[in-house]
């Protein structure tokens, strides 16, 4: 099978996984489903690695940045004026925890320090995988973040409901 057909197979697997995951109602379902769909095809070993056309990664990074950027509204900025202290505390705590966990994984489990630090870093799977790719460890970092993301998406909503109670619709 040619490289373009391999790429098409991966795209179809990601699309199928993303569309199936949409039916689950979990947060970020399309991202998690596409990751699982394409990841399962890749893990099967039946296809060569996808050869993305030159510039694809840059275009995707721009797209991800644009999606995130469009969520920054004046209302979010107004909220941040009141939430800057918790935002700073949460950010610094997560960075410190990520560094500590990454170092522990590296030293106690014998992981590559770069993979451990980037894999334990707070952040989304898209961004952290792209950072990992810059260092040549994108697949390993993506795998660690995929496990974290899927676990969090499955466990956290249930845990929050148990701790806080069911969500009340706005309005």
pLDDT in tens, 118-171: 999 998 877 888 889 899 998 899 889 888 887 887 788 788 888 988 777 665
Q: Give a yes or no: residue 83 inside a domain.
A: no
Q: pTM for the full model?
A: 0.65
Residues 101 and 47 in one domain: no
Give the number of domains in the chain: 2
Tens of pLDDT, residue by residue over 11-64, are 999 999 999 988 987 777 787 788 889 888 988 888 888 778 888 878 888 888
Domain that holds residue 12: 1-53
Q: Give a yes or no: residue 161 inside a domain.
A: yes
Q: Give a yes or no: residue 91 inside a domain.
A: no
Q: Give a yes or no: residue 142 inside a domain.
A: yes
Q: What gap in Å lies between CA 8 and CA 13, rounded to an integer?
A: 9
Q: Give a yes or no: residue 137 inside a domain.
A: yes
Read off the pLDDT of each residue in 105-124 and give the average, rounded to a whole number.
94
Q: Give a yes or no: residue 72 inside a domain.
A: no
The predicted structure's pLDDT at residue 13: 93
The predicted structure's pLDDT at residue 169: 63
Q: Give a yes or no: residue 17 inside a domain.
A: yes
Residues 113 and 46 in one domain: no
Q: Give a yes or no: residue 153 inside a domain.
A: yes
């Amino acid at each position: 099978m040619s490289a373009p057909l391999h790429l098409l197979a991966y795209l179809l697997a990601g699309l199928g996984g993303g569309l199936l995951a949409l039916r689950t109602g979990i947060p970020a379902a399309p991202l998690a489903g596409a990751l699982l769909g394409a990841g399962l095809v890749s893990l099967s070993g039946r296809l060569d690695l996808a050869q993305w056309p030159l510039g694809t990664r840059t275009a995707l990074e721009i797209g991800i940045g644009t999606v995130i950027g469009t969520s920054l509204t004046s209302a979010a900025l107004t909220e941040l004026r009141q939430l800057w202290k918790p935002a700073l505390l949460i950010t610094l705590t997560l960075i410190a925890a990520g560094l500590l966990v990454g170092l522990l994984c590296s030293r106690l489990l014998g992981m590559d320090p770069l993979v451990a630090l980037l894999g334990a870093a707070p952040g989304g799977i898209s961004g952290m995988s792209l950072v990992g790719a810059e260092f040549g460890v994108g697949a390993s970092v993506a795998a660690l973040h995929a496990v974290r993301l899927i676990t969090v998406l499955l466990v956290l909503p249930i845990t929050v409901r148990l701790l806080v109670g069911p969500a009340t619709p706005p309005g």
